[in-house]
A and B are shown apart, each in its own frame.
Chain A
């Protein structure tokens, strides 16, 4: 029995990975196909769909909008995430679990409910829909991820370093800037990258809150109605996939480096 399980599990794991990557693989394949109909066999190899991309003004606008929204949401959600993660890891206080639960709640709520409730309150408050409202929405969605990444980063390092600094006469701010910040910088960068990636791909909030200014996913959603536009969308998707993959690899390397650094610092102190 045991042997059967041990033999089958790796095969299952590989099959599962194939299932996970299956839809991703077809994006690049059909984005270099001359035929706009995505079916096998591939007609011929072409890069024309990629060449057309920079000549589409609506796409460039959407890409710029996504960049602006992504950077703003990433910075602000990371700042808010730092406050929360720091308070959660540093102090034990009454209501800690409840507060943490509330901050993480967007993770387990149907996104459409968050989106329409934000839409309602913004219209009630007389805010006109714009990229600003999208940023507000994206911050809310990104905070749980930022807090998760930052909490594990803040937990990773030895607190005696902070105490040592305080004992040696540093102020609370000085300790944070000279001891804590350098230790947690990788987690912060990682949080920035993760929230930027989420914002870049986020569709539902943007769809409800964007008004007339489209972000990339909203632009893609509009294009999906036209079958002839499919290859350009696939080309765009391939580029976005490559960009995302790059950002995530950087985030992962930084996370590992942070974990290693925290470990060595711990060993050095012991």
Chain B
């Protein structure tokens, strides 16, 4: 889970930077990268284009009717069931990404500024849980949050509640808790990387110029680490909207998300075009939401300065 180390120093041609050398360098680079690029084109770009195409077609019993139609989008956007599922998925993924980033920032800050010699050990400790089976982690949350679960027995033992509460499991709160846990490392790592890049002399300069710890943090450290916060936000927000394991296992009836509906269209309901339209709509809407969040964050930073 090592994040891509950005800012590499690309190799420069040593023997003069004439046009031909650069051209052959480009050619060699593309020749080298072509297998990977081709793979991504054939198995990612083309399939997504096929999904987009399907979203404009209709299912005609077992065959696909390829007449252009916007009917699937009308259904996806106006049918109350899909509209509600989409709204709920967006709210859940927004909450999850906010919680994950807010909870992750202090730990990333702690490791970067106070980790000392043990930085790598801390990072290792944080990433290990995320390599365990995702299904079993969700299952484990079910065990923790359940009626006879660990949380209920714990609270009863301490005497906070008298009888097991059903409030913890089979609702959207359970989905938010489980997903916030599931994506923690994906938020910590980008924030940590951007905090590591913060030039420490700038913080010293701020101190010398009389800024207190809070002002120093708000005016130097936080703005400089915003790129990490943004990538953490995106890397959590966009994938969570499409999760269907967590809602299915801990979400109960009112934790169902749009991905469960998409899965149904490709399974039992067998309406590929509608499933495709739901996928495209979800992607488009979540991208818009992610862009809006980034904009709001940038605006807040500017106002805060």
| Chain A positions near chain B (C-beta within 8 angstroms) | 1-2, 5-6, 9-10, 12-13, 16-17, 19-24, 26-27, 30, 37-40, 79-81, 83-84, 86-94, 96, 99, 102-114, 116-121, 124, 136, 139-140, 143-145, 147-149, 151-152, 155, 159, 163, 194, 197, 201, 203-204, 208, 216-217, 220-221, 224, 230, 233-234, 237, 240-241, 244-245, 248, 252, 255-256
B282 touches A110 (CB 8 A): yes
Given the known interface contacts A90-B29, A201-B131, the answer about A1 and B213 at a Cβ–Cβ threshold of 8 Å is yes
Does B153 interact with chain A (Cβ within 8 Å)? Answer: yes
A15 to B228, CA, bound (A): 23
Q: Which residues of B contact A114 (CB under 8 A)?
A: 44, 47
A1 touches B134 (CB 8 A): no
A27 to B136, CA, bound (A): 8
Please give the distance in Å from A2's CB to the nearest CB on chain B. 5
**Chain A at the B interface: mostly helix, strand, loop or mixed?**
helix
Residue among B46, B126, B136, B181 with max Cβ neighbours from chain A (10 Å) = B136
B114 touches A10 (CB 8 A): yes
A sample of 15 more A-B contacts (CB under 8 A), given A24-B132, A90-B10, is: A13-B106, A13-B122, A38-B143, A81-B36, A93-B25, A112-B244, A116-B276, A118-B47, A152-B2, A203-B135, A204-B245, A224-B135, A234-B136, A237-B132, A255-B2
| Chain B positions near chain A (C-beta within 8 angstroms) | 1-5, 8-12, 14, 25-26, 28-30, 32-37, 39-41, 43-48, 50-51, 54, 103, 106-107, 109-111, 114, 120, 122, 124-129, 131-137, 139-141, 143-144, 146, 148-150, 153, 181, 184, 212-214, 234-235, 238-239, 241-245, 249, 259, 262-263, 266, 272, 275-276, 279, 282-283, 286
A108 to B184, CA, bound (A): 15
Q: Which residues of A contact B4 (CB under 8 A)?
A: 104, 144, 147-148, 151-152
A118 touches B43 (CB 8 A): yes
Residue among A1, A114, A208 with max Cβ neighbours from chain B (10 Å) = A114
Q: Which residues of B contact A234 (CB under 8 A)?
A: 136, 139
A1 touches B214 (CB 8 A): yes
Residue of A nearest to B31 (CB): A87
Selected from B28, B46, B153, B241, the residue in CB contact (under 8 A) with A110 is: B241
A13 touches B141 (CB 8 A): no
Please give the distance in Å from A162's CB to the nearest CB on chain B. 9
Please give the distance in Å from B111's CB to the nearest CB on chain A. 8
Please give the distance in Å from A160's CB to the nearest CB on chain B. 10
Please give the distance in Å from B73's CB to the nearest CB on chain A. 16
A86 touches B131 (CB 8 A): no
B132 touches A139 (CB 8 A): no
A233 touches B2 (CB 8 A): no
Given the known interface contacts A40-B153, A84-B33, the answer about A17 and B126 at a Cβ–Cβ threshold of 8 Å is yes
Please give the distance in Å from B282's CB to the nearest CB on chain A. 7
A19 to B263, CA, bound (A): 31
B110 touches A13 (CB 8 A): yes
Q: Which residues of B contact A149 (CB under 8 A)?
A: 2
Given the known interface contacts A27-B140, A89-B10, A91-B11, the answer about A113 and B110 at a Cβ–Cβ threshold of 8 Å is no
A90 touches B11 (CB 8 A): yes
A230 to B249, CA, bound (A): 13
Selected from B28, B37, B48, B111, the residue in CB contact (under 8 A) with A117 is: B48
Residue of B nearest to A4 (CB): B213
Selected from B3, B181, B243, B266, the residue in CB contact (under 8 A) with A23 is: B181
Task: List the 10 closest A-B pairs by CB distance, nearest first.
Answer: A110-B242, A23-B140, A92-B10, A117-B47, A91-B29, A87-B33, A237-B136, A93-B29, A84-B36, A87-B32
Selected from B5, B44, B282, the residue in CB contact (under 8 A) with A151 is: B5
Would you give 7 A-B contacts (Cβ < 8 Å), ordered by A? A30-B143, A39-B149, A103-B36, A103-B37, A203-B135, A203-B245, A217-B134
B266 touches A116 (CB 8 A): yes
Given the known interface contacts A13-B107, A140-B43, the answer about A20 and B129 at a Cβ–Cβ threshold of 8 Å is yes
B132 touches A201 (CB 8 A): yes
Q: Which residues of A contact B10 (CB under 8 A)?
A: 89-92, 96
A112 touches B263 (CB 8 A): yes
